[in-house]
Structure 1
């Protein structure tokens, strides 16, 4: 039986991907950062470990447990991450560092430790969760935009370095998908942005907070359920030769096309309306 390690399985995309792959017959190692989420996932019947991707020793421990049980790891889906809202001028270096610790550095640490396993066994599938915001940038999302742009650069490079091996690397550029992403972002926004003393105080209160507080995904253009990403991961797992990149949602296709054909100024005008 082929197996896969998935990070960030507490809710949304991670949870749905774990469920879809388990139902398809794959052995899923679902992970979450909090003990209560691990307990809940185990109650659903998942093999689940507590994993904080910002902790190097924690990553090593989880991988060792998988190898003890299966002697191999067929695939990794790097899904864990969060969004830090706020204008660039309101994001401190420490806040930006926190964004990168999870979205990039944690992902990278898990990737390079997994690569040692893949190189030794001679095969494997790396699946990295990027975003439409790794292709285009939207205002008040600078920290998140930059973390996803960094993922694109780092793993576009790694993919070239894997040519000739039996290790594949696929990036998934996801657009608006139903999850708790906005709710979690609202917590980070409140914690790390000095709203009252910002130049954008009014915009934050009238637009940004209103968007983050919204729980009605039907109002988001082109929004898809979390299973839309899960089905792409399943496609990759079933494929002998996965594609290097997968777009999810029409928004990703539309904005990805706009990035290729519009001038920078025209693209900025378009994106500034979103």
Structure 2
């Protein structure tokens, strides 16, 4: 399965939130920063700045580039997404835990920032810097994540906690930090990169699937909660994406930590490339395919709630409607064939 960028800090129970609203004010607290000209109509439009968030509001979109903040840009989907937005003339703020890993994106024209999504202070700083750089945060792409693979018996509670810290709490921290700015702007986009296993679980992927199921549920709730603020919320659900899956499996669960009873399951995971889960697999999508879906979600006036990407993602959506016993029997048959 596709991964973006793994964070290795322990979870922090503190999220990043907005300052509480001043309930005693009944007047508009935004300050006028002057008139600007709409290049299409040659008429002047007023731009305003919210003093609490520092976000430029009103019709300034005619005089500045759209600005996107993307997490997990060191490789794969994140890198391809940053380049795709850049080609569409967006102001791109690309992040990674180590900015050396995204030096090429800086050379291409992106603004690069250090960001570990498990660090609340870094999250708050990245969002504020994005607003300073672009005048607003028009789109947030929560892409950073990784896949903790292996049977659940072999996954420690600490590893499971780390999986959720990156894949679930990370997007939650960033969303909380970005929403006050988007409300002040009067619009925004939040795009969460999930996975087909966020819709249907498979053996050996319980930790990863659990985190993506949680992300999907939170995203569905968020979409309804912010609809009235003209903030669009979308899920991207890739199937297998070309990447070094088997190498990551060895990193996450080395041979000496594997329970022998699950040897067949590990063999199935190791051979995942044969069914399209790794580099060169016949059913694997390329990172640019996922990036195209993300860009569409950021640009379409009314994007769909979900974008399944790739044939396995498309079939996986329908597979969840099969009876549980039939799905389990299919998994058992696959393991016997390995």
TM-score over 0.5 (shorter chain): yes
Match of 1:234 in 2: 295
Match of 1:16 in 2: 80
Match of 2:328 in 1: 268
Q: 1:182 to 1:124 in 2, by over 3 A?
A: farther
Matches within 5 A, 1:27-106: 27-106=91-170
Q: 1:185 to 1:126 in 2, by over 3 A?
A: farther
Aligned match for 2:279, one of 209, 213, 217: 217
Query: SS in structure 2 opposite 1:178?
Result: coil
Match of 2:311 in 1: 250
Q: 1:42 to 1:163 in 2, by over 3 A?
A: closer
What is the rounded CA distance, in whole Å, between the counterparts of 1:216 and 1:172 in structure 2? 19
- Give the drift of 1:65: 1.2
Contact 2:71–2:95 (Cα < 8 Å) also in 1? yes
For structure 2, the 5+ residue unaligned runs are 1-64
Q: Higher relative contact order at CA 8 Å, sep ≥6: structure 1 or structure 2?
A: 1
Contact 1:11–1:180 (Cα < 8 Å) also in 2? no
- Give the drift of 1:117: 1.4
Matches within 5 A, 1:90-129: 90-129=154-193
Give TM-score scaled by structure 2 length: 0.74
Matches within 5 A, 1:194-205: 194-195=257-258, 197-201=259-263, 203-204=265-266
- Give the drift of 1:34: 1.6
Contact 1:171–1:246 (Cα < 8 Å) also in 2? yes
For structure 1, the 5+ residue unaligned runs are none
What is the rounded CA distance, in whole Å, between the counterparts of 1:215 and 1:141 in structure 2? 13
Q: 1:2 to 1:185 in 2, by over 3 A?
A: farther
> Comparing both structures, which one devotes a greater share of its residues to helix?
1
Contact 2:236–2:308 (Cα < 8 Å) also in 1? yes
